[in-house]
A and B are shown apart, each in its own frame.
Chain A
């Protein structure tokens, strides 16, 4: 909360001056007819995206020079709110003069950035980022039409949060590495889910194949099943080799907790795991001694061998323990 949230206000207060001006006087609004394109010796491309029933729709017109693939003229028509119209206008502007291949690289983030008054102040409030996504999608559609290919061929990866353009693989990786359990954490780490919020769970403005809550569920299940297999199979080396980094750290932690820590604590010491690295076929586990262990003569000999032997026995004979 805080005073700003309590006072509230309207979404219009958060539009940049550029957005306001473009809504009032769009610069690239209009049509290109077949006759217009012919006069330019260009190919006319007309691409549609969205639908009135969804609240926004855009039609993009391009006149493309077939010899150079350059977009000679670029116009739009749009059904939508002020930010949808301003985004479409900016998108059409960004396309002009570029080749089709260059235009495909324009993202909704470029469009939003181009509408900012100041580099560090967003052009639109978070829930309006959604409007710029449509501007991005329609470019892909126009390019696909021009090249006679499927629109999906431009998308290298699956995008879960379209507003912030965060991919499925990025999200899965961030969730695993940081052991995330809530949507708020995902948003803090990646910005996914911070804008129109459609990607968080079903019921939002956009229908998605996969939502953030699904990714959290998937990771939760994965953790449970790895815990179960760890419990059942204990020291099978194959398991350790196929585990993810987080699973490995957890497995090592568990063994340290159950079999090693007590021994160290009795002597007034302790240890922590710093990192696990694959080194050829070996797994190098970097540890740090704490308390009386750090400085103890046997910490690099007897105690170290004991720790390493236990981990080898319980997890993998390819383990080496390296104190730092």
Chain B
């Protein structure tokens, strides 16, 4: 049995979404901007898709939800356009992002830092949640943007976006939130509190890959990142991804409909799975459950390096994830684990299981068996659980 528990990375496309997208490849393939029936055939689908996307985040009609190619594009757009308009012109000199943002925010912030922009990396506390006070302490009249994610991709930790939005409003600073991990898992309403820009991506909620969006509040318009044929009201040029818009619309509609299920049934399954995992000796979870998205578990198994765990799970047909050093290009430890200040010896042991509304109890039972087998085998190999002769002075910590 193969079990997919990596839904924070990407999700299966909802078959209904796929069905709605299908006509826009072979039948209704016109360029929406052309002047003929091939083009106008696509318009009802685009309109319906856009309406569903607006409804999904409760965006007023006068605000903009611009369709992009991915969340990375949306995040790059906000930071770079703010840089062009406010920093490069000398009006402002500073932006703030949390230290555990997605790389599409962190790397962009670092790039802008190299161009002379001051960047504050807001710290997270021992629960993996960004500290509101640090926003208050660091915001100045030269701050051009605050960007803090709605929920963290690794831990599932929900960030205090409402409070941060309020602080930004008080200081007249634009507020951006990357809500990629929030759609379909938490209620997302751009009118419930102050949000100027909000990023999301279809493939995280059972839509297709290659479609993202950026919500932009009226009056907070950005300079375009992509110049060209003036599609999307001139905001974002490039031939419209018709099938993508249709697919994202349907996926958004289904995600909103399934939200209750996600927040109750999936949460319950997640909690039960987590309870079982925590029965294994020497396991640790950082962020409290009630402060997490309902589908996510980040758990450390002492003595087992993350990539080794993924290896064994993969052999058993289980797909999970790790931010562990060894599985990444740069050999650096899990940045979230480091930022939380987790015990050093756990920095390389964190495994993320992320569920979706397609996850079944049977799958979780099977995965639990695979985890038990992997823990037994890998702790059997681990030097952390090895025989130590009585006079031996362990040197397992003196490296570096």
Contact = CB atoms under 8 A, between A and B. Distances in A.
A319 B22 CA distance: 83
Contacts of A12: 311
Interface in B346-400: 346-349, 380-390, 392, 394-400
B211 interface: no
B387 A141 contact: no
Given A52-B349, A55-B333, A59-B396, A85 B327 contact: no
A77 B383 contact: yes
Interface string B300-320: 000111111001000100000
A274 B266 CA distance: 77
- Among A53, A58, A128, A205, the most chain B Cβ lie within 10 Å of the Cβ of A53
B325 interface: yes
B395 A141 contact: yes
Contacts of A197: 330
A80 B386 contact: no
B344 interface: yes
Interface size class on chain A is 35 or more
Contact of B326 (A34, A46, A84): A84
A234 interface: no
B62 interface: no
A56 B326 contact: yes
Interface string A227-262: 000000000000000000000000000000000000
B89 to A, nearest CB: 32
Given A48-B396, A52-B303, A56-B305, A205 B325 contact: yes
Given A79-B383, A84-B326, A196-B331, A46 B348 contact: no
Interface residues of B, number: 42
Contact of A77 (B315, B346, B348, B381): B381
Given A33-B387, A46-B388, A84-B305, A51 B327 contact: no
Nearest to A59: B383
A130 B399 CA distance: 14
Contacts of A204: 330-331
A24 B304 CA distance: 15
B398 A55 contact: no
A227 B390 CA distance: 62
Given A56-B326, A81-B305, A49 B384 contact: no
A317 interface: no
Nearest to B334: A55
Contacts of A205: 325, 330-332
A250 to B, nearest CB: 34
Contacts, number: 125
B345 interface: yes
B39 to A, nearest CB: 33
B275 interface: no
B382 A79 contact: yes
Contacts of A198: 331
Nearest to B382: A79
A58 B382 CA distance: 8
A214 B396 CA distance: 30
B147 interface: no
Nearest to A10: B327
A54 interface: yes
B284 to A, nearest CB: 13
A81 B326 CA distance: 6
A86 B342 CA distance: 28
- Among A26, A44, A79, A128, the most chain B Cβ lie within 10 Å of the Cβ of A79
B331 A78 contact: no
Nearest to B309: A81
A12 B324 CA distance: 14
Nearest to A20: B311
A79 B384 contact: yes
B154 to A, nearest CB: 17
Contacts of A196: 331
A212 B326 CA distance: 23
Contact of A54 (B307, B389, B400): B400
Nearest to A34: B389
A40 interface: no
Nearest to A89: B381
Contacts of B400: 51, 53-54, 206-207
B303 A46 contact: no
Interface string A165-201: 0000000000000000000000000000000111000
B399 A57 contact: yes
Contact of B381 (A26, A44, A127, A130): A26
B327 A77 contact: no
B345 A80 contact: no
A53 B397 contact: yes
B344 A53 contact: yes
Q: Give 7 nearest A-B pairs by CB, closest first.
A: A53-B344, A81-B326, A77-B386, A52-B345, A81-B307, A48-B395, A31-B387
23 contacts: A34-B389, A44-B389, A47-B395, A48-B394, A48-B396, A49-B399, A51-B398, A51-B400, A52-B349, A52-B396, A53-B345, A54-B348, A55-B305, A55-B331, A56-B305, A57-B396, A57-B399, A78-B382, A80-B308, A84-B305, A131-B326, A204-B330, A205-B330
Given A53-B344, A127-B331, 12 more contacts: A48-B395, A52-B346, A54-B399, A59-B386, A59-B396, A78-B381, A79-B384, A81-B305, A82-B307, A85-B308, A128-B326, A205-B331
